[in-house]
Structure 1
Amino acid sequence: MSSQPHEIVAAFYEAAAGRDAGALDALLESSFHEDAAVHWPEGLPYGGRIEGRAILRKVFAGLATPDPVMGPENLTVVSVVDGGGDQVVAQVAFDWRANGATIASGALELWTFAGGLVTEVRAYYWDTAACQDLLR
């Protein structure tokens, strides 16, 4: 696995877009801190902060599901900006799916690193209200 933060971020999105559970798991082991966290907007049904490799492993396995019930699909990376050291920002576009319907959506995701390992990923979705509307 690569050790440069922007390469780790790119590898993650490539694996997530390809729904590659093995690659996601390998990346988790090689590039995420044991106590790494992911934080989604609280306005999402799965919003909030989750911590630790064991929990992230389950979440990443869900990213590899071929036909998700809810969440992002058709993920593409619009851009990756390396903050020069311990932060990388990725702009991603995707369809957000719930209740059999989808809307075009996207997010900025701020990746924070320490010692070459991911310590946190914080997602900022464009429109959590539109995502919630699909649930009604």
Structure 2
Amino acid sequence: MLAARGNEASMGASENVQVMLEIFRSIERRDAQRFLDLCHSDVEFHWPPSLPYGGASRGRPGTSPTWSDTWLPLQPGETERRMDPRVVAAGDDEVVVLWRQRGINPDGDRFDGPVLGLYQVLEGKLARAQMFYFDTAALVSFLAKTRGTAET
């Protein structure tokens, strides 16, 4: 089912939900190629500015720190990688997903917090992602402590 929006076609809500769930599966499996295959080449990511990977980026990863740079070392096992995505709402070109951000640092301190993501899916691929952490202060504290642990 295609719905026109501007000059681009979007798939229906059900198809967009499936695209997003496959993206989450690819992240959990650490399947970078599958993830990239499901993203537009000029995909936009918007993260809270207070995070090391915060701000907006467009296209493939550049030289700035990315979510992967920060989180891959903090997710050594399946427990930390599990995101438990739950679709909250979906429309012709947007999907809202509630998911968990988990990690463990070398000292054994854990972070487990909810994130709400607003995703735009066009032509069966992720075009834009904006993440809203429920407690950025706790996350920033965990990441700062983790950086301190890594430096000692």
Common topology (TM > 0.5)? yes
More strand by share: 1
Cα distance between partner residues in 1 of 2:129 and 2:113: 18
Cα distance between partner residues in 2 of 1:64 and 1:25: 18
Shift of 1:32: 1.5
Shift of 1:35: 0.7
Shift of 1:77: 2.1
CA RMSD of aligned residues (A): 2.8
1:1-136 aligned at under 5 Å gives the runs 4-19=15-30, 21=31, 24-29=32-37, 31-55=38-62, 59=66, 62=69, 65=72, 67-68=73-74, 73-97=80-104, 100=107, 101-134=109-142, 135-136=144-145
5+ long unaligned stretches in structure 1: none
| 3-state SS of paired residue (2:92) | coil
5+ long unaligned stretches in structure 2: 1-10, 146-152
TM-score (norm 2): 0.67
**What is the percent sequence identity of the aligned residues?**
23
Change (3 A) 1:130 1:59: closer
> Which structure has the larger Rg?
2
Cα distance between partner residues in 1 of 2:100 and 2:70: 15
Shift of 1:43: 1.6
Shift of 1:25: 1.3
TM-score (norm 1): 0.73
> Which consecutive aligned stretches of 4+ in structure 1 deviate over 6 angstroms post-superposition?
none
| 3-state SS of paired residue (1:92) | strand
Aligned residues: 124
Change (3 A) 1:127 1:97: farther
